[in-house]
C-alpha cells in the first residue's frame, strides 16, 4: 500500500492555478482537487493544454480530482493538507474567507498565492487558529479557452503569515514542507521568512504602476515613455516605501529605481489594466486601499496614493454598475433625497 | 447708404459658435464671417438648423460670410472689429494665438469664449497692444451634423482681460460695446469687470469635476452617487480656491457646496468626459495644468490637483498616439536608449 500523498484543494484554476496544480502533481508529490465553477467544469475535467516555457508542452493536463464546489471537494476528498487560493482577491465582491466556509479543517494549511496586503486578516479573524502561508509570485501565465500559455518562469516566494496564537517554528516548518512539494528544477521557489518584506516590495510595484496604468488606459511602456513614471509613479512609490517603514518594513531606495526601469523591452499591460480593459473588477482594495488604511492608522502622508485610491474606487463602482451589481434610477436623485445605492451582492 | 455694421470674424462654429453667431446677427447688429474647416464648408454655407430653447426653431441659419481660412476672411472682409474664438483651447495641439496670425489687425478686439485660465497670456506675449475680452459661458448647446440643439439658455459674462499697456477705461468701453451687440431679451449676457473672479469661479467646477469624471469615465451624477464628490472633488476644489486666493481672487466657501450639489436631476457628462469618450483631445492645459503652474509659482500645496493633472497629461498623450500625432517603436525602447517621442505636429 502506497503512502497517502498530501491532499491539496485548489481554488482558482486560471493561468496561475493551472501551473500551481501541474507543479505539485507532475512529480507525483501531491494530489490536487480543483474546485471549478459550473461553467468550466467540463473543460477542466477533460483537461487543459499547457505550453510552458519551463515544463514544455503538456498536451492534456487533467488534475487528479475536479469538483463543482468546496463542499463537494471536502466531502469526497477532504480534509485537505493544503487549501491553495489563487483567485483574484476582491473582498467587496467575493471575500476569500468565504471560500473556506465549507472546506476548512483545523488540519489544513491555507496558502494564499495572491496579490496585496492585509489579505490574511479576515481569515485570522474568523479562524484564529489557522495557519496561512503567503505566496508572492512573479510569473507570466494566461489561460486562453483550454490552453495555458506560460511565458515567464515561475519565481515565487513562500513564507508564513505568522499567527501569534500558534508556535512560530511549527508555522515555519509547515511552510518548508509545502516548499518541498512545490520547488523543483524548473521553477524558482524560495523560502522567505520575512513575508511582510516580500509583500511590501511587490506593492511598491503594484500599488503604483498597476493603478496608474489602469487609470490612464496605458501599458507599462507607454506610461513610462509618456512621463508617468516620474510624475505619478515615483512619488507614489516613495509613499508606499514610507508606509512600509511605518509598518516596520525597510525597503531600500534602489528598489524604486529597479522597478521603474523595467528592462525587458516590452510594453506590457499590468493585470489591473487588463481587468479594466475587459470590464472586470480590479483588486484595488488589497493593492492600494489597504495601504491607504495602514498609512492613515500610522499617520503617514500619502497624497498621491489617496487620489489614486479614490479614483479607483469610482472605477470599481462603474464596473459594478456595468455588471448589474446595482441599478440607478433613470432620473438622477437630487441631493436632498439622500439616495443610497442598493447592492444586489 | 446704411451704416457699416460691426464686422465679426468667428473662429469655431460648433454648438457654442453657432449660437454666438446667430445672437449677433439675428437682430441686425453685426455681420459675421465664419471661418470653416474645408470639410465643413459646404455644410455651413448651406446653413444649419437651430432648435433653441431661447430663440425657437430657425429652419436654416446661414452666416453672412463663410470662408475657408482666416487669411481669406481678412482679405475679403477684414479688418474686423471683433475676432471671436469659441474653439476648444488646446495649446499643445493648436495654439489659439496661431489663429490670429493671418487675421489680426490692431483695430480688432479679440473675444475668447473659452474655458480655462491663462488663455490670454500667449496672445499678449505676441501682440502686446491687443485688447482681449473674456467670455465665460454657461450654456447647453451641441452641433449634430447640421443641426444645433440649444437646450440650456446662454448665460454669459463678458469682461476685459486687462492689458496694462493700454488705457483701462478704453478696454472697459470696448467690452461694453461688444455686450451691446450681444445682449438681448433671450439671453443673460452680463458685464463683469472682475474677469479673474469669473474665470476662477468656473474653474472651481471645471478643474475638479471635469477632470475626475474624465479619469473615471463617469458622468457627474454617477461620480456623485459613487462618492467621488467628497473623496476627490471637494479636496480638489479647496485647492483651486486656495490657488485663486494666491492670485488675489477670493472665492467664498459656499461656492464649493453649490457646485457640488448639482440640483438638476440629470446625470450629465461634462465636456472633458465627452471628449475622452469620443477619443478627442481634452482641454487639460488651460483647465488644470495652468492652475497647477500658478500654484507652484505661488507656493500653494495642491496634492490632489497634481495627481489629476499628471494623469490627464498621460491621457492626452494616449489620445495623441491614437490620432497619429506620433508613433512608438514596435519594441519598447530600453531606458538606456533615452528614447524621445517624435511629434508630427
In contact, B303 and A303? CB cutoff 8 Å: yes
Helical pair B234-246 and B290-298, crossing angle rounded to 10 deg:
60
Give B312 to chain A, closest Cα distance, Å. 8
Q: How far apart are alpha carbons B340 and A120 in whole angstroms?
A: 44
Task: Please report, for residues A201, B332, B340, the alpha-carbon distance to residue B336 in angstroms, rounded to integers and kept in the order given.
Answer: 24, 12, 12
Predicted pLDDT at B263? 62
Predicted pLDDT at B140? 86
Query: A6-10, A329-333, B291-295 — which is least confidently predicted?
Result: A329-333
Q: How far apart are alpha carbons B58 and B186 in whole angstroms?
A: 14
Across the interface, whether the CB atoms of A318 and B216 are under 8 A apart is answered yes
Comparing CB atoms, the residue among B212, B266, B335 nearest residue A263 is B335
Is the bond preceding residue B79 a cis peptide, omega within 30 degrees?
yes
Q: Across residues B286-310, what is the average pLDDT?
A: 98
Q: Which domains does chain A have, with CATH numbers?
A: 7-193 (3.40.50.720), 197-322 (1.10.1040.10)
Q: Across residues B207-215, what is the average pLDDT?
A: 97
Q: Which residues of A touch B209 (CB under 8 A)?
A: none
Across the interface, whether the CB atoms of A303 and B308 are under 8 A apart is answered no
Closest to A222 measured CA to CA, from B281, B91, B313: B313
Q: Which residues of A touch B335 (CB under 8 A)?
A: 261-263
Per-residue pLDDT tens digits for B108-138: 999 999 999 999 999 999 999 999 999 999 8
Give B202 to chain A, closest Cα distance, Å. 21
Predicted pLDDT at A345? 86
Give B139 to chain A, closest Cα distance, Å. 20
Q: Across residues A294-310, what is the average pLDDT?
A: 98
Across the interface, whether the CB atoms of B310 and A261 are under 8 A apart is answered no
Q: Across residues B165-169, what is the average pLDDT?
A: 96
Which residue does chain A place closest to B266, by CA atoms?
A332
**Does B343 lie at the interface with A, CB-CB under 8 angstroms?**
no
ipTM: 0.93
Helix (H) or strand (E) holding A238: helix A234-246
Looking at chain A from residue 167 to 226, which residues have their Cβ under 8 Å from any Cβ of chain B? 212, 215-218, 221-223, 225-226
Across the interface, whether the CB atoms of A218 and B318 are under 8 A apart is answered yes
Choosing among A229, A332, A334, A337, which should be mutated to test the B contact, i.e. which has the most B CBs within 10 A? Answer: A332
The length of chain B in residues reads 345
Comparing CB atoms, the residue among A321, A331, A334 nearest residue B263 is A334
Q: Kindly state the greatest CA–CA separation across chain B.
A: 73
Q: Across residues A131-157, what is the average pLDDT?
A: 93
pLDDT tops 70 at residue A249: yes
Average pLDDT, chain A: 95
Per-residue pLDDT tens digits for A16-39: 999 999 999 999 999 999 999 999
**Does A258 lie at the interface with B, CB-CB under 8 angstroms?**
no
Predicted pLDDT at B168? 96
Average pLDDT, chain B: 95
Predicted pLDDT at A263? 62
Q: Which residues contact A46 (CB under 8 A, 6 or more apart)?
A: A60, A62, A146
pLDDT tops 60 at residue A110: yes
Give B251 to chain A, closest Cα distance, Å. 23
Q: Which residues contact A98 (CB under 8 A, 6 or more apart)?
A: none
Task: Please report, for residues A14, A47, A146, the alpha-carbon distance to residue A85 in angstroms, rounded to integers and kept in the order given.
Answer: 11, 20, 20
SS3 assignment for chain B = CCCCCCEEEEECCCHHHHHHHHHHHCCCCCEEEEECCHHHHHHHHHCEEEEECCCEEEEEECCCEEECCHHHHHHHHCCCCEEEECCCCECCCECHHHHCCCCCCCCCEEEEECCCCCCCHHHHHHCCCCEEEEEEEEEEEEEECCEEEEEEEEEEEEEEECCCCCCHHHHHHHHHHHHHHHCCCCCEEEECCCHHHHHHHHHHHHHHHHHHHHHHCCCHHHHHHCCHHHHHHHHHHHHHHHHHHHCCCCCCCHHHHHHHHCCCCCCCCCHHHHHHHCCCCCCHHHHHHHHHHHHHHHCCCCHHHHHHHHHHHHHHHHHHHHCCCCCCCCCCCCHHHCCCCCCCC
Query: A327-341, B30-44, B64-78, B274-288 — which is least confidently predicted?
Result: A327-341
What is the SS3 assignment for A42? helix
What is the SS3 assignment for A196? helix
Written as nine digits, the cell of B52 is 433653441
Predicted pLDDT at A138? 87
Q: How far apart are alpha carbons A28 and A26 in whole angstroms?
A: 5
Q: Cα–Cα–Cα angle for B334, B338, B340, nearest 5°?
A: 110
Which residue does chain B place closest to A230, by CA atoms?
B310
More confident residue, B8 or B140: B8
Amino acid at each position: 500500500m502506497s503512502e497517502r500523498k498530501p491532499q491539496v484543494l485548489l481554488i482558482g484554476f486560471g493561468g496561475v492555478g493551472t501551473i500551481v496544480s501541474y507543479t505539485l502533481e507532475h512529480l507525483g508529490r501531491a494530489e490536487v482537487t480543483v474546485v471549478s465553477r459550473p461553467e468550466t467544469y467540463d473543460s477542466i475535467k477533460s483537461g487543459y493544454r499547457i505550453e510552458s516555457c519551463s515544463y514544455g508542452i503538456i498536451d492534456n493536463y487533467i488534475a487528479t480530482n475536479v469538483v463543482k464546489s468546496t463542499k463537494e471537494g471536502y466531502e469526497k476528498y477532504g480534509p485537505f493538507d493544503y487549501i491553495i487560493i489563487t483567485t483574484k482577491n476582491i473582498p467587496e465582491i467575493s471575500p476569500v474567507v468565504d471560500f473556506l466556509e465549507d472546506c476548512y479543517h483545523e488540519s489544513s494549511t491555507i496558502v494564499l498565492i495572491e496579490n496585496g496586503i492585509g489579505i490574511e486578516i479576515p481569515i485570522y479573524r474568523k479562524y484564529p487558529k489557522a495557519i496561512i502561508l503567503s505566496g508572492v509570485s512573479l510569473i507570466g501565465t494566461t489561460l486562453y479557452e483550454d490552453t495555458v500559455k506560460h511565458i515567464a518562469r515561475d519565481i515565487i516566494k513562500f513564507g508564513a503569515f505568522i499567527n501569534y496564537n500558534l508556535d512560530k517554528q511549527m508555522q515555519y516548518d509547515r511552510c518548508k514542507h509545502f516548499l518541498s512539494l512545490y520547488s523543483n528544477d524548473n521553477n524558482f521557489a524560495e523560502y522567505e521568512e520575512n513575508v511582510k518584506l516580500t509583500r511590501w516590495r511587490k506593492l511598491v510595484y503594484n500599488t503604483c504602476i498597476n493603478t496608474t496604468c489602469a487609470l490612464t488606459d496605458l501599458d507599462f511602456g507607454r506610461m513610462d515613455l509618456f512621463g508617468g513614471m516620474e510624475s505619478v509613479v515615483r512619488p507614489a512609490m516613495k509613499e508606499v516605501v514610507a508606509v512600509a517603514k511605518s509598518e516596520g518594513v525597510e525597503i531600500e531606495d534602489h528598489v524604486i529605481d529597479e522597478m521603474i526601469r523595467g528592462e525587458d523591452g516590452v510594453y506590457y499591460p499590468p493585470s489591473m489594466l487588463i481587468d479594466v480593459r475587459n470590464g472586470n473588477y480590479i483588486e484595488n482594495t488589497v493593492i492600494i486601499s489597504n495601504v491607504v488604511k495602514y498609512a492613515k492608522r500610522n499617520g503617514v502622508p500619502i497624497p498621491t496614493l489617496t487620489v489614486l485610491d479614490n479614483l479607483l474606487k469610482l472605477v470599481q463602482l462603474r464596473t459594478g454598475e456595468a455588471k448589474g451589481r446595482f441599478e440607478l434610477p433613470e432620473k438622477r436623485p437630487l441631493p436632498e433625497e439622500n439616495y443610497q445605492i442598493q447592492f444586489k451582492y
